[in-house]
Chains A and B, each alone.
Chain A
Amino acid sequence: MSRGTAIDLCYLVAAIGFIVALKGLSSPRHARAGNLLAAGGMALAIGATFARSGLAHIWLIVVAMVIGVAVGVPVARLVKMTAMPQMVAAFNGVGGGAAAVISVTEFIGSDAKLVATYKVLEVVFGVLVGAVSFAGSAIAFLKLQELMATRPITYPGQQQINALVGLGILGIVVTILVTSSTPLLWVLLGLSLVLGVIFVLPIGGADVPVLISLLNSFTGLAVAASGFTLDSNVLVVAGTLVGASGMLLTRMMSTAMGRSLPNILFSAFGAVVTATGGEAGDANRSVRTGTPEDVGTLLAYSRKVVIVPGYGLAVAQAQHTAKELADALLEKGVDVFYAIHPVAGRMPGHMNVLLAEANVPYEELKEMEEANPEMSTADVALVVGANDTVNPAARNAPGSPIYGMPIIDADQAENIVFLKRSMRPGFAGIDNDLLYDPKTTMLFGDAKDTLQKLVAAVKKA
């Protein structure tokens, strides 16, 4: 067996590993093994590539990899669990960037005059999709990190600008296909980055997870395009796997939010007026603020309490304190469970992960469909740092950006208690009528502090 064949066989084994890994990742029991299997496949593919004959600059490759590992591992290890979503965005973006750079490099490295049209097409596709994914992920990262406004960003003439950039890219693509011009490829790279930015700007913060999944799928396709350019089977297989499964996953996520994908991607254009208008008078509406002691007593003498966690709980790292409160209530004989919205926090499953970290028994976590029928029999809905996922506007305000999203029916409970830092609107950037409901009591402050006070109050009651 020649060396080339052996390397190709390694790639085949790696590709099989990726497929089995994806399968494993979609079931709770095999997810971790699946991830490790994929990592093993990756190590094999990288190792085999080192054995390629004629691979020059090996020391340069090693240095580049050491830099990548030295930066990537500590960042990925040390970042807080709450910041995981933006890390996924960042690591997805660099992958897209790598694919775009590969395509550009292959193009400038080959004699442009002799390149077949289909080769140019592969390069153009890799550059375009890779750069969109890179720039889009960067904006998504900034939004999730709250380094820029999380609400949909719109500006006058947006649609015209988008159309102009789109047409410009189309024109350049056609010209490159005909002339194989290298300078134009750089222009395409620049315009694709612009497209990535303006594509993501109008997407609201609450929809960013779905967007990242879509960009993840894009990166997969860009990697597949690089695979075509480099005649590499393993790149085509792995890239296409991610491209296809990512599309499906994106659809599942948007279904979990009760929205269609086009609605998520393009709704901001129509919704601007309703999202900002008509709320001027709302600032004067009165809210009822309570004290932790009052609320603690209310909780201790309830029969059924439903805790609705949201991003605020994650930010305050209050998952352990939330469990303490639940335990204190259980001791008093109160029936307690957590109602988990599928997209509570910044990512689907975010709350499950955090509460699992605090050793909350799985039986106490109820998904939305399971929790909602019980809300009307709950004495108290304790909303900890959640907002959009309990906003009744999703049910009854057709103009609202979140209209149609399924919500936790916290408003059905006898009493509603909000633990919030301020009256600031949630991630979607819209007001919540439930805060002004006569049944609602507000407890302002850091979720962890407030929960601690509640634990003390419950124990005293």
Chain B
Amino acid sequence: MTNGLLELFTIFVLAGFVGYEVISKVPSILHTPLMSGSNAIHGVVVVGSMIVLGGAHTGAEEALGFVAVVLGTLNVVGGFVVTDRMLQMFKSRQPAPRGGEARKAEPGDPS
């Protein structure tokens, strides 16, 4: 049992480092989509909700589990759809952000 806990704790610590390292130097225009995207990712809580409802024994547990699945599903679908809508705005001009980044290096401005 304690070994199981240690295993989970190991995963927790490593995932913490990965989460911290995986995003770096995010341009400010992507702050909001990134927040929204990670918001969708913690929607994985719906998996936990399913397990809880799937293992419910009493009416109270069923009711709570049901609520949890509804909330978790909202988190997942809402999160992904909102993020996709935000990112769609960049879609039609995909090369533009790159051009913009490259342009930053050049001094001066067309007049």
Binding site for B on A (CB under 8 A): 14, 18-19, 21-23, 25-29, 31-32, 34-36, 38-39, 42, 45-46, 49-50, 52, 54-58, 60-61, 63-65, 67-69, 71-73, 75-77, 79, 81, 84-85, 87-88, 90-92, 94-95, 97-99, 101-102, 104-106, 108-109, 116, 118, 209, 212-213, 216, 219-220, 223-224, 226-228, 230-249, 252-253, 256, 335, 342, 347-350, 352-354, 356-357, 359, 361-363, 365, 367, 370, 374
**With a CB–CB cut-off of 8 A, which chain B residues contact A240?**
11-12, 15-16, 19
Number of A-B contacts (CB under 8 A): 384
0/1 interface trace, chain B 49-92, chain A, CB 8 Å (1 if under):
11111111110111011111111111111111111111111111
Closest beta carbon of chain B to A344's beta carbon, Å: 10
Given A91-B82, A92-B75, A253 and B39 touching (CB < 8 A)?
Answer: no
Minimal beta-carbon separation of B83 from chain A (angstroms): 5
A84 near B82: Cβ-Cβ < 8 Å: yes
Q: Which 3 A-B pairs have the closest CB atoms?
A: A68-B73, A244-B19, A64-B69
On whether the beta carbons of A249 and B49 are closer than 8 Å, the reply is no
| Residue ID in chain A nearest B27 by CB atoms | A28
Q: Which of these, B41, B46, B104, B111, contacts A370 with CB under 8 Å?
A: B104
Cβ 8 A contact of B90, one of A209, A245, A356: A356
B87 closest partner in A (C-beta): A32
- Contact check, B74 vs A68: say whether CB atoms are below 8 A apart: yes
Q: Is the CB of B69 within 8 A of A252?
A: no
Q: Do A95 and B45 touch across chains, with their CB atoms under 8 A apart? A: yes
Chain A residues closer than 8 Å to B83, beta-carbon distance = 25, 35
Residue contacts A-B, CB under 8 angstroms, 22 given:
A32-B87, A35-B33, A52-B51, A55-B55, A68-B69, A76-B78, A81-B85, A85-B32, A87-B82, A88-B36, A94-B75, A101-B71, A105-B64, A228-B5, A231-B8, A237-B15, A335-B109, A348-B29, A353-B29, A356-B90, A367-B28, A370-B104
Distance in angstroms from B110 CB to nearest chain A CB is 8
Q: A26-B30, A67-B70 are in contact. List 17 more A-B contacts (CB 8 A).
A: A18-B41, A19-B18, A22-B41, A26-B24, A31-B33, A42-B76, A81-B85, A90-B78, A92-B42, A97-B71, A105-B52, A105-B56, A118-B5, A230-B52, A235-B48, A249-B26, A353-B89
CB < 8 Å neighbour of B28 from A102, A109, A349: A349
Residues on A with beta carbons closer than 8 Å to the beta carbon of B45: 95, 98-99, 102, 219, 223, 226, 235, 239
Least CB distance, A28 to chain B, in whole angstroms: 4
Query: Are A72 and B74 in touch, CB under 8 angstroms?
Result: yes
Known interface pairs A23-B23, A29-B97, A240-B19. Does A230 touch B73 (Cβ–Cβ under 8 Å)? no
Interchain CB contact under 8 A, A109 and B55: yes
Residues of B contacting A23 with CB < 8 Å? 22-23
The reply to whether A69 and B77 contact each other, CB–CB distance below 8 Å, is yes
The complex places the Cα of A98 from the Cα of B75 at a distance, in Å, of: 9
Q: How far is the CB of A306 from chain B (nearest CB, A)?
A: 12
Our pick among B74, B109, B110 for the contact of A71 (Cβ within 8 Å) is: B74
Main secondary structure of the interface of A (DSSP, over half): helix
For B23, the chain A residues whose CB sits under 8 A away are 22-23, 25-26, 245, 248-249
Shortest Cβ distance from A368 into B: residue: B28
Tell me whether A26 and B73 are in contact (CB under 8 A).
no
The closest CB in chain B to the CB of A361 belongs to B96
CB-nearest residue of chain B to A18: B41
List the A side residues contacting B18 at CB < 8 Å. 19, 241, 244
Whether the Cβ atoms of A25 and B93 lie closer than 8 Å is no
- Known contacts A36-B84, A249-B23: does B46 contact A60 (CB below 8 Å)? no
Residues of B within 8 A of A69 (CB): 73, 77
Name the distance in Å between B53's Cβ and chain A's nearest Cβ. 6
Residue interface mask B1-23, A partner, CB < 8 A = 1: 10011001001100111111011
State whether A348 touches B31 (Cβ < 8 A).
yes
The verdict on A35 contacting B20 (CB below 8 Å), with A76-B78, A348-B29, A362-B96 known, is no
Assembled-state Cα–Cα distance A79/B76 (Å): 17
Bound Cα distance A105, B25 (Å):
40
Known: A95-B75, A227-B48, A244-B15. A35 touches B68 (CB 8 A): no
Contact indicator A65/B69 (Cβ below 8 Å): yes
Contacts of A248 in B (CB 8 A): 19-20, 23
Instruction: Please tell me if the beta carbons of B32 and A232 are within 8 angstroms of each other in the complex.
Output: no
B89 touches A212 (CB 8 A): no
